[in-house]
Chains A and B, each alone.
Chain A
Amino acid sequence: MSPGAPETLRVGMDLVSVEEVAASVDRFGDRYVTRLFTPHEIETCRTAEGPARGRGAYAVESLAARFAAKEAVVKVLRPVEMQPDWRSIEIHRMTGGWCEIRLSGQAAELAAEAGIGELAVSLSHESTVAGAVVVGRCTPRERGV
C-alpha cells in the first residue's frame, strides 16, 4: 500500500439479547462477568442498591450493550485466527456519559496491524435487545488494510 493511499473506514455492528446476558449472569455469576468485562466496565454496570449476586447486581442492558460493542469491535478488527481477550476491548464510559473504546493487548495488536488508529462507538438498548455500532478509521501502512 503506498503512503498516498486513501484512508478507509470499517464498520461493525452487533445485537445481543438482554435476557441471554441476564441468564448468563444468573447461571455463571461473577465468573461470567469477570471473564468478559474490565473492572471499569463492571463498576459502570453495577447497580447501586441491587443484590450482591445475580442479574439484579448489574444493569444487564448495559452489560449486553457492552458485549455487543466488543463484538462489533472484533468485526472491525477482522481477526483471522486469534480471538482477542474480551477484556482487551474496553468500553470506557466518559464523565459526560458517552463511551469510547480503549484497546490493549491482543486487540491493540490487531488494530495496529490493520492500521486502525481511531475507533468510535455508539451503544443502544431497550428492555429486550442491546446493540452497538463501531466505526474504525484505517490509515494505510506497510501491511495494508
Chain B
Amino acid sequence: MTVDETIRQVLTDHGRLAVAVDSISEDTDLFGAGMTSHASVNVMLALEDAFDFEFSEKMLKKSTFESIAAIRSGVLEMTGG
C-alpha cells in the first residue's frame, strides 16, 4: 500500500469519521468530519504501528492530524521519506 492508502486505512479503522474515508479529500478537516480527540489518539497509535515509528513530542498537536495531507507530512517527516 502507498502512504496515502495506509493513512486512509488507519482512518477507516480508527478515525470514527461521520463520512466515508473514500469520500474525503486530502485537505478535508478530519475533526470537522467527526474525528474526536480520543479517536485521534487511536489514529496516532495506529499510524505508529503501521509505519513503525513514534511521533515526537513536537508533533503531538492537533494540526498534525487535521487532514490526510497533514498526516502524510508528519509521517514522511518521521520516517525520512
Which A residues lie at the B interface, using CB under 8 A? 16-17, 20-21, 24, 27-28, 31-32, 35-36, 67, 71, 74, 81-83, 85-86
Least Cβ–Cβ distance between B21 and chain A, in angstroms: 18
Contact B41 A24 (CB under 8 A): yes
Contact A28 B61 (CB under 8 A): no
Known contacts A28-B45, A35-B45: A16-B38 contact under CB 8 Å: yes
B12 part of interface (Cβ distance < 8 Å): no
At the interface, is chain B mostly helix, strand, loop or mixed? Answer: helix
Residues of chain B at interface, number, CB under 8 A: 13
Least Cβ–Cβ distance between B36 and chain A, in angstroms: 8
Known contacts A16-B38, A20-B38, A21-B38: A83-B45 contact under CB 8 Å: no
Known contacts A20-B38, A67-B38, A81-B63: A31-B57 contact under CB 8 Å: no
Contact A71 B37 (CB under 8 A): yes
Cβ–Cβ < 8 Å partners of A81 in chain B: 61-63
Known contacts A28-B45, A31-B45: A83-B62 contact under CB 8 Å: yes
Cβ–Cβ < 8 Å partners of B45 in chain A: 24, 27-28, 31-32, 35
Contact A24 B61 (CB under 8 A): no
Which B residues lie at the A interface, using CB under 8 A? 16, 37-39, 41-42, 45-46, 57, 60-63
The residue among B16, B39, B62 with the most chain A CB atoms within 10 A of its own CB is B62
Residue in A28, A74, A82, A85 whose beta carbon sits within 8 Å of that of B42 in the complex: A28
Q: A20-B16, A35-B41, A81-B61 are in contact. List 11 more A-B contacts (CB 8 A).
A: A21-B38, A24-B42, A28-B45, A32-B41, A32-B42, A36-B41, A71-B37, A81-B62, A81-B63, A83-B62, A85-B60
Cβ–Cβ < 8 Å partners of A83 in chain B: 60-62
CA distance A36 to B40 in the complex (A): 12
CA distance A36 to B38 in the complex (A): 10
A-B contact pairs, 11 of them (CB 8 A): A17-B38, A21-B38, A27-B42, A32-B41, A35-B41, A81-B62, A82-B61, A83-B60, A83-B61, A83-B62, A85-B57
